[in-house]
Amino acid sequence: MSDVNAVLQRIDANLPQSLERLFAFLAIPSISTDSTYRAECRRAAQWASDQLSGIGFSSRVADTNGHPMVVAHRKPAGAKRHVLFYGHYDVQPPDPLDLWQTPPFEARMEDGPRGKRIVARGSSDDKGQLLTFIEAARAFIETIGELPVAVTVLLEGEEESGSPSLKPFFDQNKAELKADLALVCDTGMWDATTPAITTRLRGLVGEEITVTTSGRDLHSGMYGGPAQNPIKVLSALVASLHDADGKVLVPGFYEGVSELPEQIAAQWRGLGFDEKAFLGEAGLEGEAGEKGRSVLEKIWARPTCEINGIWGGYTGEGFKTVIPAQAHAKISLRLVGRQDPVAIRVSLRKYLTERLPKGAKISFHEHGGSGAIELAADSPALALAASGLREEWNKEPILMGSGGSIPIVGAFKKELGMDTLLIGFALDDDRIHSPNEKYELSSFHKGARSWARILARLAEWK
């Protein structure tokens, strides 16, 4: 372990330079869902690729039909094991912009209750997280001259927009991407001082719907009454998705959803999770969702249907007495267990279409789909990674679930036959996807140290 100690010292000594690199990365507005930022996405990919080349990886920016991938390799002679590290360089749109205290793409340090933290869009999701791994690799190479295992790095630029290019890219580059194990740094810690490995992830079905009732916007004085109003129709459709107990009413939705085994339920009860504090931190005064389920169960083990956006008619300042021609909503369904994203999309579309009143039409636009993931909690690689985390944090890592969706994990298994370890250093209050996103300096610093220890441990993998 003396080798690792030198690496850790290097990470500590180089923290100012690591932060400079992170700030430069965060300055690139690589918003994948908005085509206005196409060039910025490529710029972020090139920046990351240059970083990897700079520490001796053989790296390239690979074109896809969407935003490019970064693929980089460094395979030491005699390395017994080979890991594929995955991250994403794209970020969520920063709106609503007016709620940011400082511009989202001008990173800054601020003092928080746990010490310094980095505020910027992407600081936590996922630029800060993915750099923890690259900085760990850099420290190995700059001290010992080599990595303890062979490493392939794969960075995508469409994680926030459904990863449409991933499967075609896997199909074309299977041999190049195959490794013994995938590592993904896009998840969180249990709390600020307790590391975690995430073994459960929800799946996701994204759908955009448009209700059309007339050929053009109409004056609500001249037509109000006999004219069908698409906002009314859409509201009724949205309101029809749940019953009074929070259950989703789309037929077949709960097929493949199992009750939590008592052993796991007991484990979760033992975590001492503070529901009130969790909801309170988000400013939530009431609790919604399925009746009779705990907050952790609702997030980690139950499916949901959320409306992520709705719009139609006049939404500007003042008033406009219009009956619009169309109204729109963006809907996402989070999946668990063996729920089938394809069957659920079909059923959702049928359910909504059947509920349309006369004179209203509906159209659908797909925004990605993936099933839920449950990873083995007893693999040798997981035990080694847990050792590394324990050494860094002096605490037993928690095996936890996540309400989020990371479609790549399913693709690694299905397309490349690889298991994944999900290890990340984000915190619940990082405000990812929200204004004023932040990443704790301790997450960034000790995250890099954690990866150094995990890589060293994985060299022992038989």
- Residues within window 352-371 making contact with a second copy, judged by CB under 8 A: 357-360, 367-368
The site that binds a second copy (CB under 8 A) totals a number of residues, namely 102
Distance of closest approach, residue 374 Cβ to a second copy, in angstroms: 16
Q: What are phi and psi of 243, to 5 degrees?
A: -90, 180
Distance of closest approach, residue 150 Cβ to a second copy, in angstroms: 32
Task: Select from 27, 236, 257, 343 the one that contacts a second copy (CB under 8 A).
Answer: 236
Distance of closest approach, residue 114 Cβ to a second copy, in angstroms: 19
Task: Select from 4, 181, 231, 456 the one that contacts a second copy (CB under 8 A).
Answer: 231
Distance of closest approach, residue 391 Cβ to a second copy, in angstroms: 28
Distance of closest approach, residue 87 Cβ to a second copy, in angstroms: 17
When the beta carbons of 150 and 327 are compared against a second copy, the nearer one is 327
Distance of closest approach, residue 325 Cβ to a second copy, in angstroms: 7
Question: What is the chain's alpha carbon radius of gyration, rounded to the nearest angstrom?
Answer: 23
Helices 15-26 and 127-143 pack at an angle, to 10 degrees, of 140
Distance of closest approach, residue 19 Cβ to a second copy, in angstroms: 25
Dihedral sign of CA atoms 32, 35, 36, 41 in order:
positive
Site for a second copy in 90-149 (CB under 8 A): 92-93, 95-96, 99
Distance of closest approach, residue 431 Cβ to a second copy, in angstroms: 7
Site for a second copy in 247-286 (CB under 8 A): 275, 279, 282-286
Distance of closest approach, residue 384 Cβ to a second copy, in angstroms: 28
Site for a second copy in 12-71 (CB under 8 A): 32-35
In whole angstroms, how far apart are CA 234 and each of 1, 213, 330? Answer: 61, 11, 11
Distance of closest approach, residue 195 Cβ to a second copy, in angstroms: 18
Site for a second copy in 396-425 (CB under 8 A): 402-405
Please report which helix (H) or strand (E) contains residue 118, including its range.
Answer: strand 115-119
Task: Select from 39, 97, 271, 307 the one that contacts a second copy (CB under 8 A).
Answer: 307
Task: Select from 56, 103, 256, 313 the one that contacts a second copy (CB under 8 A).
Answer: 313
Contact predicate 406/399, CB 8 Å: no
Site for a second copy in 169-198 (CB under 8 A): none
When the beta carbons of 180 and 217 are compared against a second copy, the nearer one is 217
Q: 3-class SS at 189?
A: coil
Helices of type H across 144-198:
166-172, 174-177
When the beta carbons of 7 and 45 are compared against a second copy, the nearer one is 45
Task: Select from 310, 343, 362, 416 the one that contacts a second copy (CB under 8 A).
Answer: 310
Burial state string for 259-290 with b = 16 or more CB within 10 A and e = fewer than 16 = ebeeebeeebeeeebeeeeeeeeeeeeeeebb
Judged by CB under 8 A, does residue 316 bind a second copy?
yes
Taking residue 376's Cβ as centre, other Cβ atoms within 10 Å add up to 9
When the beta carbons of 110 and 396 are compared against a second copy, the nearer one is 110
When the beta carbons of 152 and 402 are compared against a second copy, the nearer one is 402
Contact predicate 31/133, CB 8 Å: no
Cα 54 to the center of its chain, rounded Å: 27
| Residues 331, 87, 63: CA angle, nearest 5 degrees | 85
Contact predicate 239/248, CB 8 Å: no
| Strands of the 115-119 sheet, one edge to the other | 108-112, 115-119, 438-440
Distance CA 274, CA 295 (A): 9
Site string for a second copy, 198-227 (x = CB under 8 A): ----x-x-x-x----xxxxxxxxxxxxxxx
Q: Which distant-in-sequence residues (6+ apart) come within 8 Å of 448 by Cβ? A: 11, 18, 131, 132, 133, 135, 136, 139
Task: Select from 12, 20, 243, 306 the one that contacts a second copy (CB under 8 A).
Answer: 306
